[in-house]
Amino acid sequence: MLHTPLWKRLLILGVILLGFFYAAPNVFYAKVEAHNDAALLSGPEAESARAGWPDWLPSSLVNLGLDLRGGAHLLAEVQVADVYEARIDGMWPDVRDALRGLVDQVGTVRRQPSVPGVLRVAIGDPSGMDAALQAVRALATPVVSLTGIGQNDIEVTVDGTEIVVQLSEAERVATDTRTIQQSLEIIRRRVDEVGTREPTIQRQGVDRILIQVPGIGSAADLKALIGTTAKLTFNPVVGRTADAGAEPGPRNLLLPAMNEEGVFYIVEQTPVVTGEELTDAQPAFDDNNRPAVNFRFDPAGARKFGDYTANKSARPSPSCPTTR
């Protein structure tokens, strides 16, 4: 009969007991998870949650997926067409200013009704069409992507007495990729804020994002979690009013003031710059030690923001409509 020395039997027993000790938190998964989440917070509620599991005990957990723990599964669609529309809409001030410098050749410059994502501009003197096309095409910039090397971001064509501006196919592809990546990062940050573990967030197809989050009660809860993302734009202020039912005028918006009850600002719908042109934003304090935000634009955004603030007496006012 095989005889095992006592010290080996004690060592094996000790390893088994040690394994049970470190695996014990998984038996009380909900309590330990609440304890771990509370350890990152402060306040009475956090202290109460931490008291549910002793600090001296191990608190490492095995990450459980949807099959073992349950959770929410969501396939979200990114509205890339809205991004195209915003990009083209934001080009109108540049196109208008470029053609105003040629007023003696092109005559009047008017924006015409068009489908979303397409900018139509009519000029009063068709004989100046060549000069107008050259001025508008000068606004194009190279596409920033490996597949779009050598191509510009906009296409400028002529339709009768109208100049038609829209994003090029290469820029649409680059914009899709950029928008999806930004959406992935925003969703990931939102999900991480609630302390969930091992979420699956990945691109699926051309314009969809697969989101699987263990521990979330339902898809409705997940929608509420990721559906509060905001879109930043800087819009020119046209005026202010105390009439909530005032008609702001064509291509204007009526927005309530954040710090003055009963006051509404009339702002242009077309922004000067958007959050897509921001490269960095950090919380800070101004010279009077008041909370402030320091931000930097990319070269194109900095030029537009600088030109506006230099040429206009009114400062741009931020407007943050909720994204879909």
Residues 101-137: pLDDT tens digits?
898 999 999 999 999 899 999 999 989 999 999 999 9
Does residue 195 sit in the same domain as residue 73?
Answer: yes
* Domain total of the chain: 3
Looking at residue 168, its pLDDT comes to 92
Q: 188, 196 in Cβ contact below 8 A?
A: no
pLDDT in tens, 266-296: 988 888 888 778 777 778 888 888 888 888 8
Rg of the chain, C-alpha, whole Å: 28
Looking at residue 157, its pLDDT comes to 93
Q: Is 204 helix (H, G, I), strand (E, B) or coil?
A: strand
**Has residue 23 been placed in a domain?**
yes
Q: What Å distances lie between residue 168 and 100, 143, 157, 235, 262, CA to CA? A: 24, 9, 11, 25, 44
**pLDDT, the chain, mean:** 81
- Taking Cα atoms as reference points, which of 243, 238, 304, 235 lies closest to residue 269? 235
**Has residue 189 been placed in a domain?**
yes
Does residue 215 sit in the same domain as residue 71?
Answer: yes
CB atoms within 10 A of CB 42: 9
Looking at residue 319, its pLDDT comes to 45
Range in 93-102, 193-202, 250-259 the model is least confident about = 193-202
Does residue 90 sit in the same domain as residue 166?
Answer: yes
Does residue 216 sit in the same domain as residue 259?
Answer: no
Does residue 74 sit in the same domain as residue 212?
Answer: yes
Across 198-228, b (16+ Cβ under 10 Å) vs e yields ebebeeeeebebebbbbbbeeeeebeebbee
Looking at residue 227, its pLDDT comes to 67
Does residue 126 sit in the same domain as residue 246?
Answer: no
Q: 237, 265 in Cβ contact below 8 A?
A: yes
Does residue 86 sit in the same domain as residue 210?
Answer: yes
Helices (H), 153-298: 169-193, 219-226
pLDDT score of 48 more than 60: yes
Q: Choose one of 222, 256, 282: the last residue of a domain.
A: 222
Q: Choose one of 24, 42, 62: the last residue of a domain.
A: 62
Distance CA 284, CA 34 (A): 33
Does residue 81 sit in the same domain as residue 113?
Answer: yes
Tell me whether strands 119-123 and 162-167 are parallel, antiparallel or unpaired: antiparallel
Distance CA 87, CA 194 (A): 33
Better pLDDT: 162 or 217: 162
Q: Choose one of 171, 187, 222: the last residue of a domain.
A: 222
**Has residue 227 been placed in a domain?**
no
Distance CA 151, CA 145 (A): 10
Range in 131-135, 199-203, 243-247 the model is least confident about = 243-247
**Has residue 181 been placed in a domain?**
yes
Looking at residue 277, its pLDDT comes to 80
**Has residue 285 been placed in a domain?**
yes
Does residue 303 sit in the same domain as residue 216?
Answer: no
Looking at residue 292, its pLDDT comes to 86
**Has residue 160 been placed in a domain?**
yes
Average pLDDT over residues 225-251: 78
Range in 72-81, 187-196, 271-280 the model is least confident about = 187-196
Better pLDDT: 57 or 316: 57
**Has residue 1 been placed in a domain?**
no
Looking at residue 288, its pLDDT comes to 87
Does residue 20 sit in the same domain as residue 134?
Answer: no
Does residue 44 sit in the same domain as residue 69?
Answer: no
Q: Is 319 helix (H, G, I), strand (E, B) or coil?
A: strand
Average pLDDT over residues 64-78: 71
Distance between first and last Cα of the chain: 74
CA max distance for the chain? 110
**Has residue 194 been placed in a domain?**
yes
Distance CA 209, CA 184 (A): 7
Q: 62, 30 in Cβ contact below 8 A?
A: no
Looking at residue 112, its pLDDT comes to 92
Structural domain of 13: 6-62
Q: pLDDT > 70: what percent of the chain? A: 83
Does residue 165 sit in the same domain as residue 48?
Answer: no
Q: 256, 263 in Cβ contact below 8 A?
A: yes
